[in-house]
Amino acid sequence: MTSLSVTTSTEAPASLDVDIVVVAVRAGADGPELVSHPDLAHLQPHLATVGATGKADELVRFPTLDGSRASVAFVGVGKALNAVTARQAAGSAVRQLAGAGSVALAFGLDDEAHVHAMIEGASIAAYAFTDYRQKTASKVKAPVQSVTVCTTATVSAEAIERVRIVSEHVALVRDLTNRSGGDLYPQSFADAATEAAQGAPVTVEVWDEKKLAAEGCGGIIGIGQGSSRQPRLVKVSYSPAGAEKHVALVGKGITYDTGGYSLKPAEAMNGMQNDMGGAAVSLGLVLTAARLGLPVRLTAWLCMSENLVSSTAIRVNDILTIRGGTTVEVMNTDAEGRLVMADGLVLASEEQPDAIIDVATLTGAAIVSLGRRTVGVMGDTDLVGAIVAAGEQTGEPHWHMPLPEELRSQLDSRFADMANLKVGNRDGGMLVAGIFLKEFVGNGADGNPIPWAHLDIAGAAVNEGPGYGYLAEGATGVSVRTLLTAIEQRFTA
């Protein structure tokens, strides 16, 4: 995790003591167009010299800037310039200029929303995960240390501090998700959550395997019983004085997933240390809200287990009893995430919050359906709509997926109340998983179902390819900013 120093300046870019001055290039209908501070308009003819096209994520260098020790970098914004593309371009420049100590962003943007987006993109991009590098640490360029945004817009210290808090907690999520499953297991994850919460106005409660058994959490216990490293449930509570609304979060925390006896192929097992990303997002979101002082009560239920193979692991056709008494026949031990989430959803429902949002790297089907940059969202139409709209603002695509009633039959069991899936039927796998989770969402104080949204972040939680925009290869921290925006807009107004 790194912390970027951010300032704004009304001075001419050439007068700033920085290593690189970055200007933006738009892919115009008649060729590349400079998008820059007015003092840098003379750089337009050099676009052709360096071959700049304005394509998003493109970064090309020009050696000198008259009157300055700095060099120039041209970064593409694509065809349109708005808050989303400004965020991406600023982040892309900072990410690709790792190794430079100081950078000035001279896009000539004076709209406060655009400037805020640029600062956010730059702050998220100034990240590197080097925890496991020893002999090769020198091969990783250090993130940019300071960014100056050239603008006449007034950006308060409070606004910059907000971006710092958000980006640091996104980095926390990325750090946790990137960690090896050999190091991050249920107890160490619980310890990390407790440590991260130090100094924040939250309480952290850790349930060990005895407490989980006493509370009837058969899903978390069942999935975790194959490992010598026992399961945990971590409850993180933020309850500010005067809060009128309460939102519960449920996060999938499978710290490693072999698939159990329904063993994954070796290739599919690669990356399964990331299967706790939903719990990391839920933790990061609560801590962000708490440190920002949002006037809404938040409770996160982090459901942590290792899904391993051993003589004590559950078998196919075993029947688990979820918190609240629902029995589930396990038809595939690799459909484990929904089983630990079921306990969390019941626990969250018992407090009758105003809404429940669950976050999980739940299904490979989400990747097949939506690729690796879009989050599938299911559930209550209004709540889902608020999350999708927030994703548009933050530049994190979230897409509303249906929960067709006819797919419920795939969860019928021969002997139990339900099954965790129908063997041999792959139709609508992401949707069937959402339908399963819906069964465990309870009613509110008014007797009606609690508004609920399910986020399947299986594709977007980790960037498997080369870096793009403000994201490097590895964990992304997706949905923290989107859910923060949605909760703030919907439950604090």
* Long-range pairs of 372-375 with CB within 8 A, sequence gap ≥ 24: 372/459, 372/460, 372/462, 372/463, 372/464, 372/465, 373/397, 373/459, 373/460, 374/398, 374/399, 374/459, 374/460, 375/399, 375/455, 375/456, 375/457, 375/459, 375/460, 375/478, 375/479, 375/482
The residues, any chain, with a CB within 8 Å of residue 416's CB and separated by 6 or more, are 319, 327, 328, 329
Task: Please name the residue ranges forming H helices in 276-336.
Answer: 277-292
C-alpha to C-alpha distance for 92 and 112, rounded to whole angstroms = 20
Q: Could you give all domains of the chain from N- to C-terminal order, each with its CATH number?
A: 5-145 (3.40.220.10), 165-491 (3.40.630.10)
Q: What is the mean pLDDT of each run of 10 residues along the chain (493 residues)?
A: 87 97 96 95 94 97 93 97 96 98 97 97 97 91 97 96 98 98 98 98 98 98 98 98 98 98 96 98 98 98 98 98 98 98 99 98 97 98 98 98 97 97 92 98 97 98 96 98 98 87
The residues, any chain, with a CB within 8 Å of residue 136's CB and separated by 6 or more, are none
The pLDDT value recorded for residue 139 is: 87
Task: Check if the beta carbon of residue 106 is closer than 8 Å to that of residue 36.
Answer: yes
**Position 252, amino acid:** K
Task: Check if the beta carbon of residue 448 is closer than 8 Å to that of residue 352.
Answer: no
Q: Which residues of 321-344 are buried (b: 16+ CB within 10 A; e: fewer)?
A: bbbbebebbbbbbbbbbbbbbbbb
Q: Among 43, 24, 155, 166, which residue's Cα sits nearest to residue 89?
A: 24
Report the catalytic residues: 264, 338
Task: Check if the beta carbon of residue 71 is closer than 8 Å to that of residue 82.
Answer: no
Q: Which strand (E) or helix (H) includes residue 126?
A: none
C-alpha to C-alpha distance for 249 and 491, rounded to whole angstroms = 14
Q: Nearest 5 degrees, angle CA 69-CA 71-CA 73?
A: 155
Question: Any bridge partners for residue 21, and if so which?
Answer: 72, 104
C-alpha to C-alpha distance for 400 and 376, rounded to whole angstroms = 6
Q: Among 285, 291, 295, which residue's Cα sits nearest to residue 240?
A: 295
Q: Nearest 5 degrees, angle CA 329-CA 309-CA 427?
A: 45
Q: In a 3-state reduction of DSSP, which class is residue 463? A: strand
Task: Check if the beta carbon of residue 216 is closer than 8 Å to that of residue 321.
Answer: yes
Structure tokens at 439: 């069964």
**Position 109, amino acid:** L
Task: Check if the beta carbon of residue 392 is closer than 8 Å to that of residue 368.
Answer: no
Looking at residue 247, what DSSP letter applies? E
C-alpha to C-alpha distance for 288 and 487, rounded to whole angstroms = 12
